[in-house]
Amino acid sequence: MDIVKVHRKPGLNIVKVGGQIIEDRVMLNVLLERFAQMEGHKILVHGGGKRATEIEGKLGLESKVYKGRRITSGESLEVVVMVYAGLLNKTIVAGLQAKNCNAIGLCGADGNTILAHKRPVGEVDFGFVGDIEQVNPRPISLLIKNEITPVFCALTHNGKGQLLNTNADTIASELAVGLSGTFEVSLLYCFEKKGVLSNMEEADSIIRKIDKNSYNQLLEQQIIGDGMLPKLHNCFNALEAGVHKVCIGDIGMLQQDAEEYTTITL
Amino acid sequence: MDIVKVHRKPGLNIVKVGGQIIEDRVMLNVLLERFAQMEGHKILVHGGGKRATEIEGKLGLESKVYKGRRITSGESLEVVVMVYAGLLNKTIVAGLQAKNCNAIGLCGADGNTILAHKRPVGEVDFGFVGDIEQVNPRPISLLIKNEITPVFCALTHNGKGQLLNTNADTIASELAVGLSGTFEVSLLYCFEKKGVLSNMEEADSIIRKIDKNSYNQLLEQQIIGDGMLPKLHNCFNALEAGVHKVCIGDIGMLQQDAEEYTTITL
């Protein structure tokens, strides 16, 4: 009898957590507790735009937004760097350390992990906003394999000294793709709702499974809201590029016996 | 003839750079250029109190100081974390990346690298200020040996979720001591003067060498200024704990053929 040796890649959970969870002290504590308890290799990616807007206000700066997306002026970038890479990232790292998770806070400039370029000026100039060019898996794998857990904030750099504000959902999916050569990656989008809902008015109307076919049907029936579209777009991109599994749900999704969330498949 | 094999530890330069250099765009660029060009293993440690005081002012907070040292209230800690770990640290990291130095920005909570406790309340309550308990050399060595250059800001944590504002000179000397078991460490204190001066009015009156004997003489003759005393105290502590070499000087000290700076020996 021939013995076929199946060479399986080690698992890696990448959890992206939204600003509404990060910026609520109680919710953040629950999240960090659950995340710290997750077994195996893991990465946390966080946003935090609301807090940045609040600090901008205190500094007398005006937050400019175009179609729900921040326009990042030079002054705005300084605030974003302070809030994302400083206040939020280090509060999360210190919180995880207290729960015996050996976390390390990173932006894309750290270890040259995520290279991006400034988004070209089109209909509107988004300022210092980065579109990702490349994830460098080597330094990230080095940390993970030594049981150090990366915590990424939503910043990248262009390799020429410029930091760039970058969408946290996209950072999570690009990390998932970039690391899927080395790991079997599960990408978990964690936000305040239980999953993708078939009725926005009903918190429990979770669509358990979405594949490309049902996605197109949901689009035609206009069941999926505008806010969810770019998220789902990111999910399918990640799956097509070799990510093993993508899920959307609330903090409960991080528990081992979780059932109520949305799984995206091709 | 017997061959004696001398097992030498690899060298490591730890450069501590003061706020006056970091906060001046031109000087910072020169520093990063010189630091990036330094050969071999290296670590950068930076302060940045002046910028934190400036942002505090913009946010309408009052900076409290006792005998030249910041009192760190809860609100003040948030600003310090934003400025040190966010704005200054990531600006430095992105700047080094642009000069082909693969830097990674860290505070003491990252990778659990530097543990401290809140300074006990004595004559005055310094607030969220940390006195260092322990440096964990393992994660730092891991990065260095993989040619990733740590850039430390002046923050530590207590392992229970609390970040603590910590003197950057002390962080540099404790890192030097903590890593001297693995590396032959040179500790370079880089500031705006050319070294320890015998006459504060003359920028070129550099004392080239100070040992414990000449230090006591300089103290008796009241030649060393108050600002230099804790720095020199740190230097002798580091040397006594196994650090190979300690020097004090300006940016020029980082060049290979540098001559004009102060060397401290036991």
Can you tell me the ipTM of this complex?
0.94
B29 touches chain A (CB under 8 A): no
Expressed as residue numbers, the domain containing A49 is: 11-264
pLDDT at residue B78 above 90?
A: yes
Shortest CA gap A220–chain B (Å): 44
Q: Side-chain half-sphere of A256: how many Cα atoms within 13 Å? A: 5
Which residues make beta-bridge pairs with B262?
B248
Q: What is the pLDDT of residues A71-105, one digit of tens each?
A: 999 999 999 999 999 999 999 999 999 999 999 99
Confidence class for position A1, pLDDT limits 50, 70, 90: low
Average model confidence (pLDDT) across chain B: 93
Q: Is residue A41 part of a domain?
A: yes
Looking at residue A2, its pLDDT comes to 63
Kindly state the percentage of chain A with pLDDT values over 90.
75
Average pLDDT score over residue span B72-82: 96
In chain A, pLDDT over 70 holds for what percent of residues? 98
Quote the pLDDT of residue A258.
81
**Which tens digits make up the pLDDT trace of B100-111?**
999 999 999 999
Q: Which residues of A are less than 8 Å from B163 in CB distance?
A: 90-91, 94
Residue A203 C-beta-side C-alpha neighbours within 13 Å: 5
Query: Could you tell me if A41 and A144 are in contact, meaning their C-beta atoms sit under 8 angstroms apart?
Result: yes
Which has more confidence, A162 or B24? A162
Q: Residue A252: its pLDDT value, please?
A: 93
Contact: B112, A94; criterion CB under 8 Å: no
Q: In 3D, which of A106, A116, A203 has the Cα closest to residue A157?
A: A116
What stretches of A18-113 adopt beta strand conformation (E)? 41-46, 64-66, 69-71, 103-106
Instruction: State the pLDDT at residue A126.
Output: 94
Highest mean pLDDT among A126-135, A229-238, B231-240: A126-135
Q: How many CB atoms lie within 10 A of CB B108?
A: 34
Q: Place B184 in a pLDDT band, splitting at 50, 70 and 90.
A: very high
Q: What average pLDDT does range A121-150 have in this prediction? A: 96
pLDDT number for residue A246: 96
- The domain that holds B140 is classified in CATH as 3.40.1160.10
Strand order of the β-sheet with B41-46 is: B103-106, B149-152, B41-46, B11-17, B184-190, B245-249, B262-264, B209-210
pLDDT given at position A228: 82
Contact B84 A89 (CB under 8 A): no
Looking at residue A64, its pLDDT comes to 86
Whether residue A95 lies within 8 A of chain B, CB to CB, comes out as yes
Mean pLDDT of all residues in A102-118: 98
Quick check: helix, strand or coil at residue A186? strand
Question: Which chain A residues in 180-219 lie under 8 Å from chain B, judged by CB atoms?
Answer: none
What single string gives the DSSP state of each residue in B5-70?
PP-PPPEEEEEEE-HHHHTSHHHHHHHHHHHHH--SEEEEEE--HHHHHHHHHHTTPPPEEETTEE
Crossing angle for the helix pair A89-98 and A25-37, to the nearest 10 degrees: 50
Number of domains in chain A: 1
Question: Quick check: B84 contacting A, CB < 8 Å?
Answer: yes
The band of B1, judged by pLDDT with boundaries at 50, 70 and 90, is low
Query: Is B3 contained in some domain?
Result: no
Which of A220, A188, A259 is closest to A11 using CA atoms? Answer: A188
- Classified as helix, coil or strand, A187 is strand
Average pLDDT for A134-158? 98
pLDDT for residue A222: 85
CA distance linking residue B153 with residue B132, whole number of Å: 14
3-class state of residue B202 by DSSP:
coil
The model's confidence at residue A7, banded by pLDDT at 50, 70 and 90, is confident
The yes-or-no verdict on residue A19 having pLDDT over 80 is: no
B125 part of a folded domain: yes
Residue A27 has pLDDT above 70, yes or no: yes
The tens digit of pLDDT for each residue in A168-225 reads 999 999 999 999 999 999 999 999 899 999 888 888 899 999 999 999 888 888 888 7
pLDDT value at position B219?
86
Q: Specify if B18 maps to a domain.
A: yes
Of the ranges A231-240, B77-86, B241-250, which one carries the lowest mean pLDDT score? A231-240
pLDDT band at B2 (very low <50, low <70, confident <90, very high): low
* A6 in a structural domain: no
Q: Are strands B262-264 and B245-249 parallel, antiparallel or unpaired?
A: antiparallel
Under the banding of pLDDT at 50, 70 and 90, the label for residue A116 is very high
**Could you tell me if residue A218 is inside a domain?**
yes
Among residues of chain B, what percentage have pLDDT more than 90? 76
Tell me if chain B has a CB within 8 Å of the CB of A61.
no
State the nearest Cα–Cα gap between B266 and chain A, in angstroms: 37
Most confident of A136-140, A191-195, B121-125: A136-140
- Please tell me if residue B146 touches chain A, with a CB cutoff of 8 Å: yes
Which residue is associated with the tokens 């060595």? B141
| The pLDDT value given to residue A135 | 98
Q: Does A93 touch chain B (CB under 8 A)?
A: yes
| Inter-chain residue contact B163 with A94, CB threshold 8 Å | yes
pLDDT tens-digit map of B212-236: 999 988 888 888 877 788 788 889 9
A253-266 pLDDT, tens digit each: 998 888 899 999 99
Answer yes or no: are the C-beta atoms of B177 and B241 closer than 8 Å: yes
pLDDT tens track for B9-59: 999 999 999 878 988 899 999 999 999 999 999 999 998 888 999 999 999
Residue B110 has its nearest CB partner, among A60, A104, A142, at A104
Residue A10 has pLDDT above 90, yes or no: yes
- Does residue A4 belong to any structural domain of this protein? no
Residue A42: name the closest of A145, A156, A136, A169 by CA: A145
Average pLDDT of B151-179? 97
In a domain, A152, yes or no: yes
